[in-house]
Structures are given as structure tokens and as C-alpha cells.
Structure 1
Amino acid sequence: MKKILLILLTILLTGCTQSQVKELPPTIHMVVTTDIHVIDPSLVENKSLYDDLSLNYGDGRLLNYSGDILQIFIDEMIQTKLEYVIITGDLTLDGEKSSHEWLAKQLDKLIQADIQPLVIPGNHDIMSPTSRTYGSPSTYTPTLSAEEFASIYKNYGYKNALYRDENSLSYVYELRDNAWILMLDTAMYYENTSLGAESSGKIPSETFDWIETIGALAKENGVELISSTHHSLIQHNSYFNSSYTLLNTLKAQRIFDEQNIRVNLSGHLHAQTIAQKELTNGNITDICTSSLLTYTNQYGDIHYTPFNNFDYKTKEVDVETWAQTNSTNPDLLEFEEYSYAYFKHASTSRGADRFISKGYNDEQVASLQEAKGILNCYYFSGSANEVRDDFVETDFYQWLIEQDDDTKSYILTMIQESPIYPKEISIPLNS
């Protein structure tokens, strides 16, 4: 069966390619963003419900400003005049069909500027049982199927895909005649129930067969493969349990290694972190970009020269400059401070009970919560290395390391296990 599929794909490959249409530079300039969690504004009657949702979950997403941040991000991309914008899932708040339709209209601005968006779904996007409006009362609003997802986003990867996987929403897009990106659907929406959406992810076995076929085709035609998933290919931190990393990650790593896929772009963690793993044929790097809605509201800027180098570094959405001429909202005019305070508050809104139950007094509980909030801001934004050395010199740290293991790990895991350089990396691809 694989041989037949390989023959068919080889026949299809003889068609006109992007490089035959226009001359392109050898280095590809693209951006990756993730977990943008937009919602159709018409579904929102009471924005204060967003704060309840974000703070109760403790994830600090700036849901109130998701539409504003997206619009500013799109404007920046158009001004930058890059080639591709990759969005690695969780496009909507909770899979509202009208939110997907609203987002598609916004992404069309990129198309009009000759920038190609490429999207894949996340665990929030399809067949969601929590798709609803925000008002009094809050009511159910239609979600969508996998087929409807591909239809709504047909102009953002699916219609012009080089190849489509029959068993998922995965596809291959030609970046250059010598570089393809595997946009892989890892969401397990088919496991959703009325009780909730499945947050874990995996690559179906049939899709692994398809990846191997694509890999053989790429090797035959002198093409380099990179990939993109919503869930991480490599575990980045012991704090992030199995629902954040692919459930079948060891198999994925083996197959990626065999197909010489050295770079994967991911999301889902809402944390800015880069992990590498040495495998049989070389290193694999999983670059997880933090959510566009969380402090420091950044995205990944990429310059990729196939078979040569893959350069990645973060850039922050410049909300404050935009607000100076477009808004009088103090939250937006002092956005960096507002975003930091909001994320820190969300990080400290839960967890006090565990410290109280251990017998800590009010002052100690407040100090533990404050430390957790500050360290979370630095870890999730990829900046923990900036405060690590100073933090371990404090009296609080000296006191903390004498406490029980549960208390220590709850506070310290983020800063102790964070990568040294999570915000940028240069990966040689010619070895």
C-alpha cells in the first residue's frame, strides 16, 4: 500500500511548483505563533467573564484583548513583508464555528498582502463541548467538524497543500522546491465527550505511514522536511505532564529521525521553551513558542535556509506603539506592565491552600505565592535565565531549599529546569 501511495505522489509531484512561478530568495522568512484563542466578538456580551475563565484556570491569557492583539500582530506581519505565518493550533477560545469564520476573515488580510498563513488545529478547535457565548445567560454556540475546519481554512494551507493525509488534518506545504513543511494534526478531538475536550495529543498510526511516504518522496527529490505540531515532540519540563507532549512521542521521534526531520515547531504549553534530543541520526529540536496572549506576548521570527541553517528568535507584539495612535485604553498604552501584572496575578490566584495545609503562616504563604507568580512570569516568557543567579542568592531561596520536597518543587521546577536559551537558537542543517 505504501509503495502504491509513493508512486501516486511521485506522479503528482511533476506538476508546476512554486519556484517555477517566481524567483525566490534562498532564505525563507516566516513567523510562528500559537494559542491565539480568538473569539468572535459577536459572541461576547460580558467581557468580565473572560477574567473569571482565565484567572480560574490560572493561565493568564489576555482573553479580553485577543482580538486587539491579533489585529496588531497582523499589521506587524504586513509591515515586515515576510512570506509565511504559521499558527500551530488553538486558533479559537473553545472551537466556536463563528470564531473560526471570524479568524479566517482576519487572516485574509495576510493573503491580500502576499503572505501565506498555514494553520493546524489544537485541542480547543474542533468538536468542542464547551463552545459557548459569554453573556447572561451563557448559551451553547455551534462548534465545527474536522471537514468544516479544512473548508473554512482552505486558503490557509489546505487548498494549496502539496499533499493531504486522508486520516487526519495533516498536510504538506511547499515552502521552496527544496523545502517542505509537515503541518501535523495532533489533536484528539475524536475523543471529546460531553464532559470535556481531550487535551492530550498524538499522531495516528496511519499518519505515521503517510509521514514515511512523504519522507521517502522528499529524499528522492532532494527536499528537506521540517514539521509543525500543536503538542510537543519532546518533553520540555517535568512540570508539563503527558497531556502536553505527544502520547506516542518516542515513536514520533524515531520516525522523524529516520526521515531526517530536525526541526519541529510546537505550541500548547503556553511557554517559551526550546528542547533538543540526540537520536540515532542526529539532534531533533522542538521549538515551543509561547501563547500570543500571555506575557510577553511574543512570536517566533524565523530565517530558514534549507540544508544550511534554521535561525529562530522571539519578538514581542508592539501593542504600546500601536496604542499611542489608535487607543486611549490605559491597559494597552502601558501594555507590558499590564500583561506582566495580569499573568503574575493569574499565577498566584490558585495554590495557597496547599501551603496553608502545611502549616505555613500568612506571611510565609504570601511569600511563596509571590515567588511562584514572579518565577512563572519569567519561565513562561522564556526569561528565567535572567533571574536565576540573583534568585538563588536571596534569603528566601536559602529558606525555601530547607522546606519539604513538594513545596520546593512547586516553586522551583520552572526555574531549575528551564533551558538556558529558550528565546533563540541557530540550528545548523548541513551536518
Structure 2
Amino acid sequence: MKIRKLSFIIVIGLAAVIAFIGFNRSGPEAVIESGSDIRIFIATDLHYFDKSLTDFSEGFDAFAVTRDGKQLLYSEEIMDSFYEDIKEQKPDILIVSGDLTYNGEAVNHRELSDRFLRIEKLGTRVYVIPGNHDVLSIWANGYREGAPYSAENITHEDFREIYGSFGYDEGISFDEKTLSYLAAPSEDLWLLMLDSNKYFGDFSMPTGDGYITEETAKWIRECAEMAEAKGAKLISVMHHPLMRHSTRDVTGTYLSNTTDVVELFRELGIELNLSGHIHIQDIKRDDPEDPKVYDIVNSALIVYPHQYGVLQYSADGGFEYSKQRVDVETWAKEQKKEDPNLLGFNSYAEETFGRRPYNIAREELELLGIYTEFEIEEMALMVRDLNLRQFEGTVYPIKKDLLEAPIYKLFIKTKSEYLYDFVYSIVHSVDMDSTKLKLGTE
């Protein structure tokens, strides 16, 4: 009788464990077997803004197209289109490297979490980390009655709870001081998801700066040793760029202790880092002559050209990276939308994003009073087009011809320090193709 009772208890216990595991995630449960090819989508800087946060009153259009080009008005539609891409192409993994929400609004986090649940039901595993706009943000807001208003934000604990199903519940190791974790979705490939945000204290918002503490660096070393013991390849993901991606040394655009972290990655054999934060598309390597570490900055999903990274991995062939644009226009036609901006989204996004740098350039050049109207127009168009290419990641293919172009030489002599720095940095910051990368196995 005691044996039968014990057996019953064991069965009930196993059933409870199975139920917990089964409902803890909405997507696939099994670890991807060794030898399987893996397809990963990488999205960053979604800056999701749910329409429940606005009444669309006067002035919202200006609020929704921000100075840095975020298309808040269409963030839901962009995510809907992205969902269709995932549904059609069926990637194994979706990595989201921070700045998930506009400014850390609780509503946006919860709505985005629901969207990730839908994605996982398609069979794609989702892994997220926070960006500097996601946790304890004092800028959390919406827009009603013609003005912004303060909205509820979230804490570190809230973030871990809201996104528990998207990395945290299945992490195999955690950093004690940050929201960093180690995930093993595949026997061959592990993800080192790093919270690179720099906070003033335990209860204060992050700055724009990125930083990896000594304690976190020690934990990273332990994770690398775990991966090596299991024969797994380790790649890292963080919000802030691992390396400097511009000749302009702008505070907060990369890890403030980049030298130390790159050296650590070289030592540990972590050759690939995926990041975001600066919204452009760019790839950098630690040493052009002897590259050991690559930092791929994926452009922001919410900003022109609304694209994401695609990373293929195989144990035999290594990594192959490319980029892909969200097809909002096709989605809008299939959904029978009537908004002309959505039906012609490619042109709309390019025009609205290019307008500000063009206008700034014209104003600067006109104030100098030394250029003809023809020269002003050509130079302003060059600023616009270079900025568009910077966000597409397509400056490198034209760099050689551009350096010889008369209009570029005219720009280099301009007395506008702002425009000189802007143009020079875009052209001279790129030293390799930023749209694709292939890293083979040894």
C-alpha cells in the first residue's frame, strides 16, 4: 500500500514538473540538436509605442516622427510586418538587443511581451536584453490633449518578470548584479546576453553610456569556460556597441571600457558580438590586420530603413550574416490598409527620414553665404543621401568614388565645422562591407 501511494506521489510530481515546463514557455522546448543549422533574426531598438498611449490629438504627428527618425506612429504596423516575416521564414531564434520600448513605458513592455508570445507560438525562440531606454526611465510618456504626459515605467524586477519567457526562465547562468544571462538554445551555439547599461545606482535610470563591470567580466569568463567544456560556440549580445564605430568620439555611443572587454573577448575566443543603440548599420573588427573579434551593429527596426539582421550558423560552415528589410508595403496591401504612407512605406520612410539632414544642411550652407544655389542644393542632397546610406550600411561600396567626387572635395573645404565633421565621419568611419559578413570555422 505504501509503495502504491509513493508511486502515485511520484506520478503526480512528474505531472506537475511537466506542466510547469510545458506552460513556462509558449514555444519550442527541446534544445536544438548538435549538427543542426541555425537561422537567427536579430532586431534592435524597436522603440515600440502602443497606440493606447495616445489620443492622436493635434501635434501627435510631430511627436511621433522624432528628431532621430523613429516612426512611432507606425511602430505597431512595423511589428506586425516583422511578425509576418518570421511566420514566413521561420527562424529558429529571434534576438532583440535592447531599447524594446519607446522610453520604458509599462504598457509598451506588456504589449511587446504579448507579441513575443505570438512569435514563440510560431516555433521561434525569443531572447531579449534591456537597453538604456527600457528600465527606470524618467522619460516614459504618452501623448494626449496635445501634449506629452508621464506614463508608468518599470523596474529591473519588472523587466525580468515581463520577459521571463524570453530568455530569463531558461537561462543556465546569471550575473548577480545585472540583467545578464547565459542561454543555451542549441548544443552547438550559446548566447551570452549582456546587460551593458550603466546605472547611477540600484534604483536609478541608466545613462546613455555602456559598461561591463569587473564582476560581470569575471562571470563572462565563467560562462566561456562552461561553453568550452560542452563544446559549444559562444556569441555575445549587448545593447551598446562593443567598439567605436565612428571617427567622431561621441560619449555614450559604445562601451566606455571597450579596450578591456575586447581584450577579454579575444582571450576567450568570443569572435562575434551583436549590438545596437546607435541606430546605424555597421560592422567593425578589433584589428584589420589580425581580426579576432567582430562587432555587428544592427540598425534600428523603428528607424529607416527598418531592417534586421539575419545570422546563419552551422558547426561546419561557421557564421554568415546579412540584413533584410521589413516589408511593410506587402503587409499593408494584404491587410487591405488604406493609409497611403503604409502602402508606399519605402518611399514614405526614406523621404521623412531624409528631410531633416537635408534641411539642416541647406540652412547651414545658406548662412555661410559663399555658395551658389546649385552648390547648396547638391551639397544638401549629398548630406541627405550619405545619412541614408549610413543607416542602410551601404557607404563602403561607394567610398572610393566618393572621395574623388568634386562635390565631396567642395565639402571638405566648407567652413561649417558641423557639416564637415558629419560628412567626413560618415565616409571615413567605414572600412569594410557592413551589409554582410562570413566567419568560417577553423
Q: Does TM-score exceed 0.5, indicating one fold? A: yes
CA offset digits 1:33-78 (Å, max 9, x no partner): 1001001221112277555346663x21212111100111012102
Q: Does 1:416 align with 2:425?
A: no
Q: Aligned to 1:369, which of 380, 383, 406?
A: 380
User: Where do 1:124-143 residues align within 5 Å?
Assistant: 124-136=133-145, 137-143=147-153
Distance 2:177 2:332 in 1: 44
CA offset digits 1:152-207 (Å, max 9, x no partner): 0000110111111111000011032232110000112446999x861111112211
Q: Does 1:202 align with 2:211?
A: yes
Q: What are the ranges of 5 or more consecutive residues in structure 2 without an aligned counterpart? A: 1-20, 22-27
Q: Is the 8 A contact 1:296 1:340 kept in 2?
A: yes
Distance 1:157 1:415 in 2: 38
SS of the residue 2:183 aligns to: strand
SS of the residue 1:133 aligns to: strand
CA offset digits 1:226-247 (Å, max 9, x no partner): 1001001111112362311101
Q: Does 1:401 align with 2:418?
A: no
Q: Aligned to 2:73, which of 64, 89, 93?
A: 64
Distance 1:38 1:362 in 2: 43
Give the 3 Å change call, closer, same or farther, for CA 77–101 of structure 1 in structure 2. same
Distance 1:33 1:92 in 2: 13
Give the 3 Å change call, closer, same or farther, for CA 255–34 of structure 1 in structure 2. same
Q: Does 1:78 align with 2:87?
A: yes
Distance 2:392 2:60 in 1: 21
Give the 3 Å change call, closer, same or farther, for CA 20–112 of structure 1 in structure 2. closer
Distance 2:355 2:201 in 1: 33
Q: Is the 8 A contact 2:160 2:168 kept in 1?
A: yes
Q: Is the 8 A contact 1:257 1:282 kept in 2?
A: no
Distance 1:358 1:206 in 2: 52
SS of the residue 1:278 aligns to: coil
Alignment RMSD, CA only? 2.8
- The corresponding residue for 1:187 is 197
Give the 3 Å change call, closer, same or farther, for CA 375–261 of structure 1 in structure 2. same
Distance 2:382 2:291 in 1: 38
Give the 3 Å change call, closer, same or farther, for CA 63–419 of structure 1 in structure 2. farther
Distance 2:438 2:100 in 1: 27
SS of the residue 2:254 aligns to: coil
Percent identity among equivalent residues?
28
Distance 1:291 1:385 in 2: 19
Q: Aligned to 1:222, which of 195, 208, 231?
A: 231
SS of the residue 1:156 aligns to: coil
- The corresponding residue for 2:4 is none
- The corresponding residue for 1:112 is 121
CA offset digits 1:392-425 (Å, max 9, x no partner): 4544223223334824332232123224310111
For structure 1, which segment, 283-292 or 230-239, has the greater mean C-alpha deviation from structure 2 after superposition? Answer: 230-239
Q: Does 1:335 align with 2:335?
A: no
Give the 3 Å change call, closer, same or farther, for CA 25–219 of structure 1 in structure 2. closer
- The corresponding residue for 1:254 is 263
Q: Is the 8 A contact 2:54 2:143 kept in 1?
A: yes
Give the 3 Å change call, closer, same or farther, for CA 71–156 of structure 1 in structure 2. same
User: Radius of gyration: which is bigger?
Assistant: 2
User: Where do 1:259-408 residues align within 5 Å?
Assistant: 259-278=268-287, 283-306=292-315, 308-326=317-335, 327-350=337-360, 354-355=364-365, 358-360=368-370, 363=373, 365-392=376-403, 394-404=405-415, 406=417, 407-408=419-420
Pairwise CA distance, 1:350:
3.9
Q: Is the 8 A contact 1:379 1:418 kept in 2?
A: no
Pairwise CA distance, 1:151:
0.3
For structure 1, which segment, 66-75 or 362-371, has the greater mean C-alpha deviation from structure 2 after superposition? Answer: 362-371
Q: What are the ranges of 5 or more consecutive residues in structure 1 without an aligned counterpart? A: 1-15
- The corresponding residue for 1:175 is 185
Distance 2:313 2:332 in 1: 32
Q: Is the 8 A contact 1:126 1:189 kept in 2?
A: no
Q: Aligned to 1:165, which of 165, 172, 175?
A: 175
- TM norm structure 1: 0.88
- Letter of the 1:296 partner, please give it: P
For structure 1, which segment, 335-344 or 385-394, has the greater mean C-alpha deviation from structure 2 after superposition? Answer: 385-394
Distance 1:51 1:247 in 2: 36
- Letter of the 2:319 partner, please give it: F
- TM norm structure 2: 0.85
Distance 2:139 2:77 in 1: 23
